[in-house]
Chain A
Amino acid sequence: MNKSTDIMTENTMLEVRNIKRDYELPGGLFKPKKIIHAVKGVSFKLERGKTLAIVGESGCGKSTLARMLTFIDEPTGGDLLIDGNKMDTRPGHLTAEMRQKVQIVFQNPYGSLNPRQKIGDVLGEPLAINTSMTAEERRHRANEMLIKVGLGPEHYNRYPHMFSGGQRQRIAIARALMMNPKLLVLDEPVSALDLSVQAQVLNLLADLQDEFGLTYVFISHDLSVVRYIADEVMVMYFGEAVEYGTRDEVFSDPKHEYTRTLFKATPKADVESIRARVAKKKAAAAA
């Protein structure tokens, strides 16, 4: 953020310059219009093959940012550069080629898959829309991708309700990867999953990143997950990036008050802190 240069280096996958998003709440007869500044000018740069984690509480604008990165929402200000090209985010100006570079995986794997669509069709649909592949080729690609995410060809003809939460999230990831994107935005991809399943999905994401050289923007509110997966960390608070740096910088020396509050609030599961707590409670009970 500090050393921002105007020349994109070869290695930069994503650059965001002072991006903003305002939402307008319509007024009524006696109520004036109100403008909500959901994202108030955020800038960052992300290198190819790296992971940026965005942390913050609900309502801090992290999902709005994700929606802008994936062109679901149009920014009201600022620039978005992907793979060295400035994106024209006005409606109707986006080409299919631009859209293919960025894909998104949503939080809730139960809501993000169409219950009436077979898994094979879920995976084949982006190919059918964007490419001229034959049905046979699409089927082949879908089966390949199912194996890549740890499922199998036998799942091709099944419906989403036949899968567990972790499996559905694998399908959502597979769908996002069908168009060979370069940038994957993951909006709380593991927060709806059990601990053991969470570990499997995080490992899968790490494997896929190595294999395809993917760049991740990983949105999460769980600091232990962020510490494990991120190269760079950005903390958002009321629409602003209050902290931005490499993982080690942020975790070892948090600058902003809110980041420190966040770290303090995270439950500690190491033996030392438990011992301290138990001792404290005993002392309080004795007194």
Chain B
Amino acid sequence: MNYNELMSQRAQAIMPSPIRRFFDLAENMENVISLGVGEPDFRTPWPIRSAAINTLERQSIFYGANSGLLELRTEISNYMERKYQLSYHPENEILVTVGGSEAVDLTFRTLLNPGDEVLVTEPCFVCYAPLISLADGVPVPLPTKEENEFRLTAEELKAAITPKTKLIMLSYPNNPTGAIMRRENYEELAKVLRGTNIFVLSDEIYSELTYGSKHTSIAEIPDMRERTIVINGFSKAFAMTGWRLGWMAAPAEIIAQARKIHQYGIMCAPMVSQRAAISALKNCDADVKHMVSEYDHRRRFLLERFAEMGLRCFPAQGAFYLFPSIESTGMDSETFCEQLLQEERVAVVPGSAFGESGKNNLRISYAYSLKHLSEAADRIEHFLERHAK
């Protein structure tokens, strides 16, 4: 069979993840130290695991409600109220999904008609553009700048809007830059969006991981809730990546459409994870606090090390990434990363993987022990000394 001719053109047009591609190289090397992963190094807190064990021991594990367990949706609703003064009705405004990623995919498929443009703030996580294309939308990169602390400004937004703009995609705290948006920044964007028919997809998966300030959701800003789809999940905050559980919160009309797609494609999110997640929201505030303070120590440690070695780095205040600039080395990020891997056996992700605007940066994850970070930083320092211009 001639597969290439027979299979979906759209599927074939999608590029494999550039993060993945790079790490295939590292896999065959000895003594590689990685700063590449995008998930917590902590184990899932015990109250969550214990709830899962109890479920396995004592309960049947059948299909559940398409939207997710009502008890979990109620806890999610309480959580959003408690943390962000956001009010979403558990009955019809919250949908429990298979990770935040399913919620992202669902949002595009729910909102987009062929040719609709989605403004995607970059640098950003790698999944948005391919998923937009699969939903017949047109991803339009909207680069943010380091001098604006990688925040989207009202002027940039205004200039990018066209009659075809259906949706704007925001992700703060941001992967890969670690940037955050403050209330006043969102208020500026709200001025542009108010009175339009433009939706906002706000991927807030890193909302718990902010350092020195509290996370704000754009849905908190007056008139934004009606147009916003808030996405969050358990992976990053509760160290539950493998449990595959997230949610979307949005006006009932949007959830009703999304639920149909979810119902046919997924049925329901994994029930063991759902029961465990109830415990995450009820019992794990202290665990989350502990993890956040550990990330903060590491963040400060690495920022200081980079400053010492003269590697310019935006002082990230969220997520668990640093996004240093390597412009001074004269190398592009792909070349830098490949040579760093070959010469010092350190694997980091080239900033270009997250959009053209990241081509002079590296994404460094600090979801690692201090000892690990310290060793990796020493190696990067050697590399920089050798390649100093």
Q: Do A and B actually bind?
A: no
